[in-house]
Amino acid sequence: MMNIGEFARLGGITTRMLRHYDALGLLVPAHVDPHSARRSYDLAQLSTLNRLLALKGLGFRLDEIGPLLAEGVDPAELHGMLRLREAELERQVRHQRHTLDRVRARLRLIEQETQMPVETKHLEPITLAALSADSPDASRQQTGAVVQTLFDQVIDRMEAAGADRTTPIARYHPHPTTTPHPTKTTATGSQSNADGAGDPAVRVVAGYALSGEPVPGLDSYTLPATEVAAVLHRGPMNTISVAYQELARWAESTGRAPTTFSWREYYLEAPGDDQSDWIVEVQLEL
């Protein structure tokens, strides 16, 4: 038996909330002193408290939780419900993060109306549901055609699987393998280097942020954490070379050799076929 303060500490909530649950009949103390009215709890009641908090986290109202606790919540069933809720929250976080990136991009566009400033920042690792292919050379004409084909195939397969599409990214890295590459997990679960056979000029990876299970027909690519230099491009993709040139000049001015780097394109706003209002962040991995 333990007092209310000790029980609250173990349960990770406040004593005020325990009194509230007691008043509602959701978690009644094991013992209440008739003279001092001090509440005491059994250690075994932590199981009920954990279920109560889990159901609350799933979005159930307190008046709905009482009957569920009274009926008894099967741990396996609760675990499944929590996993579904976790996946939904992760989806919401991805969408909110992408929305935040778009808002920040708009602010940067306002600030750079007369110039194209280079921003350096750190990117966390990200796993994509993606496909990859080789481009015979690094020209925009060649790589642009490859990335468009890849995205068309990725979208078709994600739609067929009912998978959520957030955070579209394309990555370009040179051959031979003189730079780090993303980890690729194939549909069979094996891992390999992202490069294929032969020695083409550029390997292109295109896909969307992956959450949960792999998407049938798509590979899982983990892009490593890295520092990047980035500029924003607004408008059709056939003019995006301006952004690449700006980053190349910046790299040269800081003593780097841009031909040895990998590049990413983060499509912040790319609605429909009309590219006039597209916003793409071009990122040079450092």
The string of pLDDT tens digits covering residues 215-234 is 999 999 999 999 999 998 88
* 79 Cβ neighbours under 8 A, 6+ residues apart: none
What is the pLDDT confidence band of residue 176, given thresholds at 50, 70 and 90? Answer: low
Q: Looking at per-residue confidence, does 91 or 267 come out higher? A: 267
**CA–CA gap between residue 274 and residue 236 (Å, rounded):** 8
Residue 121 has pLDDT above 60, yes or no: yes
Find how far residue 77's CA is from the centre of its chain. Answer: 26
Find how far residue 203's CA is from the centre of its chain. Answer: 23
Amino acid at 251: A
Residue 286 has pLDDT above 50, yes or no: yes
Q: Looking at per-residue confidence, does 87 or 262 come out higher? A: 262
Peptide bond into 75 cis (omega under 30): no
**CA–CA gap between residue 113 and residue 129 (Å, rounded):** 34
Q: Which of 38-52, 180-194, 259-273 has the lowest mean pLDDT?
A: 180-194
Q: Which of 44-53, 88-97, 107-116, 153-162 has the lowest mean pLDDT?
A: 107-116
pLDDT value at position 183?
54
pTM: 0.60
Residue 75 has pLDDT above 50, yes or no: yes
pLDDT value at position 98?
78
How high is the mean pLDDT of the chain? 83
The total of other beta-carbon atoms located within 10 Å of residue 230's CB is: 20
Asked whether the CA dihedral 117, 122, 128, 131 is positive or negative, the reply is: positive
Q: Which of 19-23, 56-60, 218-222, 251-255 has the lowest mean pLDDT?
A: 56-60
Residue for token digits 């962040």?
281
Q: Which of 192-196, 208-212, 281-285 has the lowest mean pLDDT?
A: 192-196
- Burial (CB < 10 A; 0-12, 13-18, 19+), residue 77, is exposed
Alpha helix segments (H runs only) across the chain: 4-11, 15-23, 46-57, 62-71, 75-111, 140-161, 241-253
pLDDT value at position 226?
94
pLDDT value at position 77?
75
Q: Report the pLDDT averaged over residues 113-139.
A: 87
- Burial (CB < 10 A; 0-12, 13-18, 19+), residue 162, is exposed
Token readout for 77 is 């069933």
Residue 200 has pLDDT above 70, yes or no: no
pLDDT value at position 196?
42
> What is the arrangement of strands in the sheet containing 2-3, beginning at the earlier edge strand?
2-3, 39-41, 31-32
Q: Looking at per-residue confidence, does 156 or 176 come out higher? A: 156
Residue 162 has pLDDT above 80, yes or no: yes
pLDDT cut 90: percent of the chain above it: 39
Q: Report the pLDDT averaged over residues 115-139.
A: 89
pLDDT value at position 193?
43
State the Cα torsion 18-19-21-24 to the nearest 10°: 170
Residue 214 has pLDDT above 70, yes or no: yes
* All structural domains of the chain: 2-73 (1.10.1660.10), 117-285 (3.20.80.10)
Q: Strand pairing partners for 209?
A: 128
Q: Report the pLDDT averaged over residues 6-35.
A: 92
What is the pLDDT confidence band of residue 179, given thresholds at 50, 70 and 90? Answer: very low
pLDDT value at position 271?
82
Find how far residue 97's CA is from the centre of its chain. Answer: 8
Token readout for 138 is 């690094």
Residue 188 has pLDDT above 50, yes or no: no
